[in-house]
């Protein structure tokens, strides 16, 4: 299991999202932390300035980095697909 670390930016974005969507996002992040290798809806980003991966959850995207050696997933930002990239 990987440890989830949220940046201040990600926490601020999560608080701005409706409670229903936020709880769904947190549920999917728990699934991601349990098994990031076989996670569905994860894509490696190409030439993105702040993140290496994205997780798709409905209309929302979670940008994150993964450090396998330390077993850490750093959640960088969370937002609607129209505004996140």
Q: Tell me which residue of 56, 60, 59 sits closest to 78, measured CA to CA.
A: 60
Q: Are 63 and 51 in contact (CB under 8 A)?
A: yes
| Per-residue model confidence (pLDDT) at position 39 | 84
Mean pLDDT by groups of 10 residues along the chain of 85 residues: 97 97 97 89 92 95 96 97 89
Where are the domains positioned within the chain? Answer: 3-80
| Per-residue model confidence (pLDDT) at position 26 | 97
CATH of domain 3-80: 3.30.2310.20
| Per-residue model confidence (pLDDT) at position 37 | 81
| Per-residue model confidence (pLDDT) at position 85 | 76
């Amino acid at each position: 299991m990987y440890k989830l670390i949220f940046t201040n930016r990600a926490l601020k974005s999560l608080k701005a999202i409706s409670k229903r969507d936020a709880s769904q996002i947190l549920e999917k992040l728990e699934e991601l932390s349990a098994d990031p290798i076989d996670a569905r809806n994860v894509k490696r980003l190409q030439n993105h300035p702040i993140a290496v991966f994205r997780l798709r959850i409905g209309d929302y995207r979670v940008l994150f980095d993964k450090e396998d050696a330390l077993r850490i997933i750093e959640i960088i930002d969370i937002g609607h697909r129209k505004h996140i990239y």
